[in-house]
Amino acid sequence: MKAVVFHDIGDIRLDDVKEPKIQDSTDAVVRLTASAICGTDLHMIRGTFSGMKPGTILGHEGVGIVEEIGKGVRNINVGDRVVIPSTIACGYCSYCRASYYAQCDNANPNGKQAGTAFFGGPQMTGPFQGLQAEYARVPFANVGLVKLPREVSDDQAILLSDIFPTAYFGADIAEIEPGDTVVVFGCGPVGQFAIASALLMDAGRVFAVDHIASRLAMAREQGAEVINFEEEHPVTVIQELTGGVGADRAIDAVGVDAQRPESGPAAKEAKAKEKEYKRELSKIAPETNPKNGNWVPGNAPSQVLEWAVKSLAKAGTLSIIGVYPEAAKVFPIGMAMNRNLKINMGNCNHRKYIPRLVNMVRNRTVDPLLVLTQTEPMTDAIEAYKAFDKRQSGWIKVELKPQAAAKA
Ligand X SMILES: NC(=O)c1ccc[n+]([C@@H]2O[C@H](COP(=O)([O-])OP(=O)(O)OC[C@H]3O[C@@H](n4cnc5c(N)ncnc54)[C@H](O)[C@@H]3O)[C@@H](O)[C@H]2O)c1
Distance CA 188, CA 277 (A): 22
Distance CA 196, CA 224 (A): 9
DSSP 9-64: TTEEEEEE-PPP---STT-EEEEEEEEEE-HHHHHHHHTSS--PPTTPBP---EEE
Q: Which is nearer to Zn ion, 86 or 311 (CB)?
A: 86
- The 76-115 contact track toward ligand X, x by CB under 6 A, reads ----------------------------------------
Q: Binds 96, which of Zn ion, ligand X, none (CB < 5 to 8 A, cut-off by type)?
A: Zn ion
Binders of ligand X among residues 25 to 44 (CB under 6 A) are 38-40, 42-43
187 binds ligand X per the rule CB under 6 A: yes
3-state percent helix, strand, coil for the chain, nearest multiple of 5: 35, 25, 45
186 binds ligand X per the rule CB under 6 A: yes
**HEC string of 71-107?**
CCCCCCCCCCEEEECCECCCCCCHHHHCCCHHHCCCC
Q: Which is nearer to Zn ion, 165 or 316 (CB)?
A: 165
Q: Looking at 198, 321, 357, 360, which residue binds ligand X (CB under 6 A)?
A: 321
Asked if residue 284 lies in contact with residue 256, where contact means CB atoms within 8 angstroms, the answer is yes
The binding site for Zn ion (CB under 5 A) comprises 38, 40, 89-90, 93, 96, 104, 106, 162
Q: Which is nearer to Zn ion, 89 or 171 (CB)?
A: 89
Q: Looking at 2, 46, 215, 233, which residue binds ligand X (CB under 6 A)?
A: 215
First to last CA, the chain: 11
Q: Which is nearer to ligand X, 36 or 76 (CB)?
A: 36
158 binds ligand X per the rule CB under 6 A: no
404 alpha-carbon distance from chain centroid: 25
Which residues lie near ligand X (CB under 6 A)? 38-40, 42-43, 162-163, 166, 185-191, 209-212, 215, 229, 253-255, 258-259, 303-304, 321-323, 347-348, 391
